[in-house]
Structure 1
Amino acid sequence: MARRGQLDASKLRPGWTTGACATAAATAAYEALLTGEFPDPVEVELPQGRRPSFALTLEQVTDGVAMAAVTKDAGDDPDVTHGALVRAWVRPGPPGSGVRFVGGPGVGTVTLPGLPLPVGEPAINPAPRAMITANLSAVARRHGVPLDLEVTIGVDDGEALARHTWNPRIGIVGGISILGTTGVVVPYSCSAWIDSIRRGVDVARAAGLQHLAACTGSTSERVVSELYGLPELALLDMGDFAGAVLKYLSRHPVERLTICGGFAKLTKLAAGHLDLHSHRTQVDLSHLASLAVQVGAGEALAAAIRAANTAAEALDLAEADGIPLGDAVATAARDHALTVLRGSPVAVDVICIDRGGAIVGNSA
């Protein structure tokens, strides 16, 4: 049973990725291009043997081009693209051309190296391309025709939606990305965010950057940028996903990583947690008291910290007694980060800040 204030994942409804929606739209459009009739709903085959059906929101055939659109349902996941209209236009291509993908309105274009697509390509990721191609191939086989098509994918208002994603930071301009490896959105798995972290590392490495900063929010980004003069490309919007950053860097290292975030969140990393979300992990005041003792706190202060209401109150108590609890937390967080990196040659430092952005702890 979930604790009060937490989410019971077993009761949450899964949804569909933009890649699955694009697959459904393209499949319906191709069928209509060949027959003049749109299958509605349209059934598609996704990885892991799933065969969902999608209702069409729009359909049209004009001048040898078929267009179908599907409205994305992200289930109970707080996805920025929930409700987005994903369109596919399908038209014949030159003989022997196979399937060629084009970015329509609202789909971004890759402008920086390091992503799984070449510069200049539309941001339709490899897995969705494979899903779309596999389903179009099935339609072509069923009708006994060669698979030579131009497939354009667009997303209504995609450029505006992209402002709420990582795309502008990692060099995808003009719209969102078409994503999804399985086609399914698992509620609160935040797979798109974690994938964006990985792509952020890839783009930064491709640009030759060797000092990256993983930040829990905009205030920590500002602090670490001012402290080290790092370019925006070096700033990873880690959010609560410390584990995603560290595990990816263990396989794709850079010379240095700075982790910067709010004191309360980083007490969780110091205690061994890799998910820093308030619904999924809690501040361990007993652990904070133990860290305080390690840097000189007496039993009276330790007891007061254990009885504190919040991490901020614990920090205030320690600071009033001249005990560098912030530094102790930063050091413990760094040490745990190094264990997750598993010997990967990444130097790590950790900076803790308060709500106003003042530095209250540093592992250096």
Structure 2
Amino acid sequence: MTRKPEGPLRTGFTTGACATAAAAAACGALVTGEWVDPVEITLPRGETPLFALAEMALGEGWARAGVIKDAGDDPDVTHGALILVTVRHAAPGQGIVFRAGEGVGQVTRPGLPIAVGEPAINPVPRQMITRALTDVAEARGIPADFEVEIAVPGGEGLARKTWNPRLGIVGGLSILGTTGIVRPFSCAAWIASIHRGIDVARAAGLSHVVGSTGATSERVAQSHFGLPDHAMLDMGDFAGGMLKYLARHPVPRVTIAGGFGKLTKLAQGARDLHSARSQVDFLRLAETAAGLGADRAQIAACNTALEALERVGVPLAQAIAQAAQAEAAQLVAGAGIAVDVLVVDRQGQILAEAGPA
């Protein structure tokens, strides 16, 4: 994850908010022949931001507007992307119909809030756009029958850097957002993506999923168990967020795979494994190591968890795997989920594995 900058952070706007602004501007031009720039929209919590238009085009029966996505200080892959919306008149009584243009994905797997076969435009952006276009239509005394095509040039390439391929969203990005506002370095956004991954896995009938702390442990776990891509959850540091959701939306088996340091923190009761939000308790680690015959004071004085592992060896990794498994199992107790843990080193070797007693 990109390092968080110092000082106050600037918020930004979601792809859904940008698409709403572009749609409102295009629809206004379609029915009046005139452009409003900047264009104002109303977000779900009542804010009324203005958006400058980066592109405007008007033809017979259609209008197109573009807005540049500004994610503020969030390291969002869509920051700076052009969100293009083309609005056309639709057949009477058709209402507002959504289409995926270039760089916007299509849903191919169940479990997401959008039906299979639909463009990956999430419910709240659809509601925002529908409201904005209905307001334009009502102001002119005409029915709100429009076709809305959203495109993000280059979006298919950007989507490869997101969770979309695993979620079964093919061909491009999703148009997202629940509030319209991007909060920089938002943990909630990451955890929501983990939840959607679990939903897709359940809808696909998978019996085994893996949450990994990083790319190496994920690769090793996927190969070790022979699992498909959509069984791999991008847990990252959010072990607690993943396990709490699984407790309410169970899958028969979950494996947590990660490096020794992060799994030591899980074993010691941490739920968020990020270095800024939890640390290894070296006195507790020394107690564990002492039970294996190691020098307690020497381990307590270690600078890193890796140093302790190097001094004690694989038995310490096994002890941590067992303790981490017990902690994780507590979080899903009663849900009928079998939990196991893999400790993986930086070279991609499995150091220890622990499962249910």
Equivalent residue, structure 1, for 2:295: 301
User: Out of 334, 347, 353, which is 1:356 matched to?
Assistant: 347
After TM superposition, list the pairs within 5 Å mapping 1:23-102 onto structure 2: 23-102=20-99
State the 1:259 CA deviation: 0.4
After TM superposition, list the pairs within 5 Å mapping 1:265-276 onto structure 2: 265-276=262-273
Which SS does the other structure have where 2:167 is aligned?
Answer: coil
Distance 1:271 1:14 in 2: 34
Distance 1:332 1:230 in 2: 25
Which SS does the other structure have where 1:169 is aligned?
Answer: helix
Cα RMSD over matched residues?
Answer: 1.9
Which SS does the other structure have where 2:165 is aligned?
Answer: coil
**Greater Cα offset, 214-223 or 247-256:** 214-223
Distance 2:56 2:188 in 1: 30
Tell me the amino acid that sits aligned with residue 311 of structure 1: A
After TM superposition, the score normalised by the length of structure 2 is: 0.94
Distance 1:122 1:226 in 2: 32
Distance 2:62 2:297 in 1: 73
Percent identical among aligned pairs is: 59
Q: Deviations over 1:260-289 (max 9, x none)?
A: 011111112122222222233322222322
Distance 2:128 2:56 in 1: 21
User: Out of 311, 317, 322, which is 1:317 matched to?
Assistant: 311
Distance 2:269 2:186 in 1: 20
Which SS does the other structure have where 1:120 is aligned?
Answer: coil
State the 1:138 CA deviation: 1.8
Q: CA, structure 1 residues 116+62, in 2 after alignment: closer, same or farther (shift >3 Å)?
A: same
Structure 2 runs not aligned, ≥5 long: none
Distance 1:72 1:191 in 2: 20
User: Out of 320, 332, 338, which is 1:341 matched to?
Assistant: 332
Distance 1:274 1:216 in 2: 12
Distance 1:253 1:190 in 2: 22
After TM superposition, list the pairs within 5 Å mapping 1:1-364 onto structure 2: 7=4, 11-293=8-290, 296-297=291-292, 301-319=295-313, 324-364=315-355
Tell me the amino acid that sits aligned with residue 303 of structure 2: N
After TM superposition, the score normalised by the length of structure 1 is: 0.92
Q: CA, structure 1 residues 245+290, in 2 after alignment: closer, same or farther (shift >3 Å)?
A: same
Q: CA, structure 1 residues 181+102, in 2 after alignment: closer, same or farther (shift >3 Å)?
A: same
Distance 1:141 1:291 in 2: 69
Distance 2:333 2:184 in 1: 30
Distance 1:273 1:56 in 2: 46
Q: Is the 8 A contact 1:6 1:280 kept in 2?
A: no
Q: CA, structure 1 residues 137+287, in 2 after alignment: closer, same or farther (shift >3 Å)?
A: farther
Distance 1:334 1:142 in 2: 60
**Greater Cα offset, 227-236 or 5-14:** 5-14
State the 1:352 CA deviation: 1.0
Tell me the amino acid that sits aligned with residue 317 of structure 1: R
Q: Is the 8 A contact 1:213 1:257 kept in 2?
A: yes
Structure 1 runs not aligned, ≥5 long: none
Distance 2:318 2:78 in 1: 40
State the 1:177 CA deviation: 0.5
**Greater Cα offset, 329-338 or 55-64:** 329-338
**Greater Cα offset, 245-254 or 339-348:** 339-348
